[in-house]
Amino acid sequence: METFLLCNRWLHIAAGFTGFFVAPVALIVRKGGAAHRLWGKVFFWAMLVAGTTAMVSASLKGLTFLLLTGVFSLYLAQFGYRSLHHKGIGQSQQPGFYDWASVSLGLLVFAGTLGYGLWHQPFNLAMVVFGAIGVFITLRQLQGFRRPGPWPAGQWLRNHISGFVGSYIAAVSAFSATSLTFIAFPLNFLWPTLVLVPLLLWLQRHNVPKTGVSPRVVIGPQV
């Protein structure tokens, strides 16, 4: 078991650091271009490995918050990736079984996270924040799937940005909580949200103006 945990830990560290350094590259290069798609894929798989290994370690060690943070990061990464397949939602395309199943499961998990944070003694502000954000995202996603007619222009891109940047925020939060011990709780969990959410909102406005997708974004094939 010790050998397994050690291998799991080093795999988690390698994937996490890959994601930390790759995400800014994907944000800097031209959106939708070949480089963006390449580094976006690397980031997605890095988050998939990092989140999965975090869940394994947290489950075996009984670290509830880190377990839920791993779930949060995984859900947002797949949400951001899956959004690339939603460009035709509300027109000829309809949500598939995977879309309904994943968002329903996500809503249950995030509602549980929110409840855990509210009723846990002592009160866990970080859990409440992450749970509330997750519930908001999944409810908006369900609302979008149920909405008749086409989605607002560029909604799939807003979701793509929210999912990938949100996954990055969750990963940085988990790293801060476990490694930056000089920062007091709950700020050690929450500072990435306070710092990076304004960046997320700026990216959405910059790349998805009210008239639709910015001409700076290349609408290439699904990845």
**pLDDT tens digits for range 27-80:** 888 878 889 999 999 999 999 999 899 889 888 887 777 788 888 889 999 999
Angle between helices 34-61 and 2-28 (to 10 degrees): 150
What mean pLDDT is predicted for residues 149-161? 85
The residue among 106, 124, 105, 104 whose CA lies nearest residue 115 is 124
Residue 213: pLDDT band with limits 50, 70, 90: confident
Q: 33 φ, ψ to 5°? A: -75, 175
Q: What is the pLDDT of residues 86-142, one digit of tens each?
A: 888 767 788 889 999 999 999 998 998 898 888 877 777 888 888 898 899 999 999
- Classify burial at 117, counting beta carbons within 10 Å of its beta carbon; exposed 0-12, middle 13-18, buried 19 or more: buried
3-state helix, strand, coil in the chain (%, to 5): 75, 0, 25
What mean pLDDT is predicted for residues 162-179? 89
Q: What does the pLDDT read at residue 222?
A: 54
Q: Is the pLDDT of residue 221 over 60?
A: no
Q: What does the pLDDT read at residue 219?
A: 65
Q: What does the pLDDT read at residue 18?
A: 94
Q: What is the pLDDT of residues 2-26, one digit of tens each?
A: 888 889 989 999 999 999 999 999 9
Q: Is the pLDDT of residue 218 over 70?
A: no
Residue 52 and residue 72 in contact, taking contact as beta carbons nearer than 8 Å: no
Of 199 and 92, more confident: 199
Residue 27 and residue 202 in contact, taking contact as beta carbons nearer than 8 Å: no
Measured over the CA atoms of residue 130, residue 131, residue 133 and residue 138, the dihedral's sign is positive
